[in-house]
Amino acid sequence: MNLNISGHHVDMTNALHAYVSSKMERIERHFDHVLDAEVVLEVEKLRHKAEITVKLRGAKLHAESTKDDMYAAIDCMIDKLDRQTLRHKEKNHDHRNGEARHIDMSTD
């Protein structure tokens, strides 16, 4: 997975970078087809915003969160993305066990 983390009006410290990377491991555990992830962290006065766009095979997911604390915004954003990823995985999962059922309607 290609993870790109950038910041607007915020110093991208190693701690923030490591925190986002460790949280993204949770997404990779559920769904291993993540191709690219673009994370943008932004601070505007007292508002801390975290947003992510993830490219999966056949889909693009987007989540964002605004909180008073950057770490809380990242946690909320990852929770939203996790739910979207699980929903996407369930939607693409083949629900049939093996082959489709065949009902014989012929009469003797």
The model's confidence at residue 102, banded by pLDDT at 50, 70 and 90, is very low
Which parts of the chain fold into alpha helices (H)? 14-30, 70-92
Higher pLDDT, 22 or 105: 22
More confident: 32 or 41: 41
DSSP secondary structure string for all residues of 65-82: EEESSHHHHHHHHHHHHH
What pTM was estimated for this model as a whole?
Answer: 0.79
Q: Round to whole Å and give the CA distance between 101 and 108.
A: 21
Q: How many CB atoms lie within 10 A of CB 40?
A: 16
User: What CATH number does domain 2-92 carry, 3.40.50.150, 3.30.160.100, 3.40.50.2020, 3.40.50.11540?
Assistant: 3.30.160.100
Please state the domain extents for the chain.
2-92
Torsion angle, alpha carbons of 44, 82, 39, 56, to 10: -150
